[in-house]
Amino acid sequence: MKTSFFKSCTAAALLFLAFSACSQQETTLGNLHVIPLPQEITEQVTANPFVIRTSTTICYPEGNEKMKRNAEFLASYIKEVAGTQVKVSSETAASNCIMLETDTTLTNKEGYEMDINADRVIIKGGSEAAVFYGIQTLHKALPITNGQTLASLPAGTINDWPEFSYRGFLVDVGRHFFSVDYLKEVIDMLALHNINYFHWHLTEDQGWRIEIKKYPKLTEIGSHRKETIVAPGSDQFDNTPVSGYYTQEEAKEIVRYAAERYITVIPEIDMPGHMLATLASYPELGCTGGPYEVATQFGVFTDVLCGGNEKSLQFARDVLNEIMDIFPSPYIHIGGDECPKERWEACPKCQAQIRKLGLKDTPEHSKENQLQAWFMGEVEKSIVARGRKMLAWDEILEGNPAKSTTVMAWTSPNVRIKSARLGHNTIVCPITHLYFSNPGYNRLKGVSSVARVYNFEPVADELTPEEKARIIGVQGCIWTEWTKDSVKMEWQMMPRIAALSELQWSNPKQKNLDNFLGRLRHQLDLYVLYGYHYKQDIDNVTIDINAGENGQALVTLSTFDNAPVFYTTDGSEPTASSAAYTEPFPVQGSQTIKAKAIRNGRESETTEETLNYSLATMRPITLASEADKGYTFKGATLLNDGLKGDGNYRSGRYMGFYSNNVDATIDLQSEQEISEAFIDTYLVPGDYIFGLTGMEVYVSNDGKSFSKVASRQIPVLEKGSKNNVPCHNTLAFDKTKARYVRIVGKCTPTLPAWHSGAGKKAFLFVDEIGVN
């Protein structure tokens, strides 16, 4: 880029919150540095801007209906954002016009060029879709004036194209049903972010949501469930029926609506797993014959389509043929994930088919996994026969599928590497970063939540150039187990979808989180304008506490948009009359810091942090053991920063050790009398996170010669131990004086026999270490 974001903002502020040269009406200047960030921006900061007036005309090529529709979209955006009703015409205006053109000489068919001067704006694209993306850039570059001032655009040029050709977003309507009208709103949200594929997950254990005329029971029976579990791990149900499905005509309407916005709808019929709604409708398609019911809980179920039953295969072919009649998408997604093989291992039909095919267990693939690969391969033949491509989740790699299968890599970031190396075109959507409905990661707040998406790199450095070329796209996903309404849907999407759009569209070499955050305020204001519900903790103050001098804590307060911040240190609620934050400040001793941002009279939620001091808090600390690289975060200082964990081991408030002890030495900086040491841990046995099996304490006055003063053993967690439990481990000893204290916490060596991962290595997550 030729100009920096901050330089252009400064120029804008100085030059154009002013009166235009040809009118006495006040003019507000927009900003070309939108989300997603265009590839190349050159601003002419001394040139006059293009001012949008009621006389402005959007010109499109006569006879091109798509470009006419593009022009109408742009006119509606300008009216919504700037409050100005402009004209639309197929005749070229003499001046003050926005010209929409296609140019087949542009090498990237989704790329566009924009030239802005005081007289006109020209958006020239390699296709009508490319022009639409240019329109979205202009749309987001406009200042929100609501007709109070005239909106204007800085003079300059943009040369832009997407980093990936596949830019997707998934919405699951199987667990919870969403109306046609609301899905149209979602499609508009996707268009705002230059997303070009809407992945529509239509079927689940909990509900079948698309009309199939050859199999009417799928919607008569399979689209209804009697109730839903109220929370993860609960044994309570809400006694509220859930139902709903889309007729084929409604599905075609969604396809049409999306296509007008250059979004392709990819249907997903998940098979052979996640099929309880199908089996409840047609029990003869399962291995046992039932009885089955539409699932009322969430998870992975053992009952799946029978892989050895010809009727099951014919069912899949029939359904997909009707699906392909509805959806013109080049991709048809057939799931392939989370298909347990217990039923197949005991099913005579499945085992007969395995013998017929001559399948044998190999070190890489069980014969049942190979049966699934065969089943999917047969289904793929029907898809290919219609000129389409098959998409599937990455579990399909367990059965050595055909190289023609495009893989969605979701189970971990490493799977994208495996898939590309195996020769598959790959779409990257790891649960760890791009599943916006992931309950664990949804507990991240504010900037940290957005940063987890923004800082993810879709293309792994260790891939060769040939392998990198197989990473064809990036996708975000929302699964609706616990998402029943549009408000929760949207706060899970926004503002993280803004970060996602930069992964999908923008140049990764220009990635800069602070720059992105500087552009995010306007995007949030657009969300508000359009009535979208973004997760408002992004507006909250971030409190960052680090070690200062002589055991002091140094407190830094910030917001993503540099809003005014007010704070207290006595635990009282901050107001506009509280201390205004200007620079980092020191504190010492146990206390509660509260902070609030106030933007034009609008208050954020209160953010607070409580410091709990021990003699070790904020003192120099060194580690003799190595933390897991994925859970190191700030490093050793996390362990004695005085901040208790937040109940989310992924948040950066805990340090994680994989099959390794925690071994820390703290310099108290002067001789102190001590009689107790403690290690606070966090227990999530379901995620292989166990507690301590022992503690040891050593003391020294010179930091070189240490003597053991105490030790204890701690029993391994018992069967039935709950998840997400903080544990305060203490070790008392006779009073002794020391300057240096070494504290060792013993990691559980291997998972116990009662655990599903028995014999595997365990994690140890440590919150705080201290002495009293």
Using the 8-state DSSP alphabet, how is residue 620 labeled? Answer: -
Helix (H, G, I), strand (E, B) or coil at 123: strand
Whether residue 467 lies in the annotated active site: no
Give the CA angle between residues 119, 120, 124 to the nearest 5°. Answer: 155
Neighbours of 661 (CB within 10 A): 18
What pTM does this model have? 0.90
Residue 224 buriedness (CB in 10 A; 0-12 / 13-18 / 19+): middle
Q: Compute the mean pLDDT over every residue in the chain, rounded to the nearest whole number.
A: 95
Q: Is 633 left (phi over 0), alpha (psi -120 to 50) or beta?
A: left
Q: How far apart are CA 294 and CA 578, in angstroms?
A: 56
Q: How far apart are CA 405 and CA 608, in angstroms?
A: 49
Helices (H), 213-269: 217-220, 248-260
Neighbours of 540 (CB within 10 A): 19
Among residues 343, 341, 374, the alpha carbon closest in space to that of 358 is found at 374
Residue with tokens 């996707």: 190
Structure tokens at 721: 């131990």
Q: Which of 338, 345, 603, 676 is catalytic?
A: 338
Using the 8-state DSSP alphabet, how is residue 39 labeled? Answer: S
Among residues 487, 489, 467, 486, the alpha carbon closest in space to that of 478 is found at 489
pLDDT for residue 24: 57
Helix (H, G, I), strand (E, B) or coil at 4: coil
pLDDT for residue 579: 97
34's CB contacts (< 8 A; 6+ apart) are: 137, 140, 141, 519, 522, 523
Q: How far apart are CA 11 and CA 306, in angstroms?
A: 66
Q: Are 371 and 308 in contact (CB under 8 A)?
A: yes
Among residues 195, 263, 261, the alpha carbon closest in space to that of 493 is found at 195
> What's the pLDDT tens digit per position in 666-678?
999 999 999 999 9
Q: Is 223 left (phi over 0), alpha (psi -120 to 50) or beta?
A: alpha
Q: How far apart are CA 443 and CA 415, in angstroms?
A: 25
Q: How far apart are CA 640 and CA 642, in angstroms?
A: 6
Among residues 275, 298, 297, the alpha carbon closest in space to that of 286 is found at 275
101's CB contacts (< 8 A; 6+ apart) are: 61, 122, 123, 124, 125, 131
Residue 585 buriedness (CB in 10 A; 0-12 / 13-18 / 19+): middle
What Å distances lie between residue 507 and 156, 246, 759, CA to CA? 20, 38, 44
For 289-355, the DSSP string reads -------SS-S--S--B-TT-HHHHHHHHHHHHHHHHH---SEEEEE--S---HHHHH-HHHHHHHH
705's CB contacts (< 8 A; 6+ apart) are: none
Helices (H), 193-262: 217-220, 248-260
| Domains of the chain: residue spans and CATH | 5-160 (3.30.379.10), 166-536 (3.20.20.80), 540-611 (2.60.40.10), 621-771 (2.60.120.260)
pLDDT for residue 724: 93
What Å distances lie between residue 433 and 148, 168, 475, 476, 665, CA to CA? 40, 14, 10, 9, 34
Helix (H, G, I), strand (E, B) or coil at 518: helix
Structure tokens at 641: 């920063």
Q: How far apart are CA 592 and CA 612, in angstroms?
A: 9
Q: At what angle do helices 486-493 and 180-192 cross, to 10 degrees?
A: 20
Using the 8-state DSSP alphabet, how is residue 537 labeled? Answer: G
The identity of residue 591, as a single letter, is Q
Give the CA angle between residues 72, 77, 82 to the nearest 5°. Answer: 130
Q: pLDDT under 70 in the chain at which residues?
A: 1-24
Neighbours of 213 (CB within 10 A): 12
Q: Are 52 and 78 in contact (CB under 8 A)?
A: yes
Structure tokens at 168: 């997707």
Q: How far apart are CA 134 and CA 130, in angstroms?
A: 6
For 381-427, the DSSP string reads HHHHHTT-EEEEEGGGGGG---TT-EEEE-S-HHHHHHHHHTT--EE
Among residues 678, 686, 627, the alpha carbon closest in space to that of 655 is found at 627
Structure tokens at 264: 């392709």
The rounded radius of gyration (Å) of the Cα atoms in the chain is 29
Q: How far apart are CA 699 and CA 358, in angstroms?
A: 67
> What's the pLDDT tens digit per position in 612-668?
999 999 999 999 999 999 899 999 999 999 999 999 998 899 999 999 999 999 999
Among residues 555, 562, 516, the alpha carbon closest in space to that of 539 is found at 562
What Å distances lie between residue 530 and 76, 226, 293, CA to CA? 12, 35, 41
What burial letters (b/e) apply to 702-724, b meaning 16+ CB within 10 Å? Answer: eeeebeebbeeebebbeeebeee
Structure tokens at 143: 């200042």
Using the 8-state DSSP alphabet, how is residue 178 labeled? Answer: -
Helices (H), 422-512: 431-434, 446-454, 465-468, 486-493, 496-505
Neighbours of 342 (CB within 10 A): 12
Question: Phi and psi for 664 in degrees, rounded to 5?
Answer: -120, 140
Q: Are 20 and 52 in contact (CB under 8 A)?
A: no
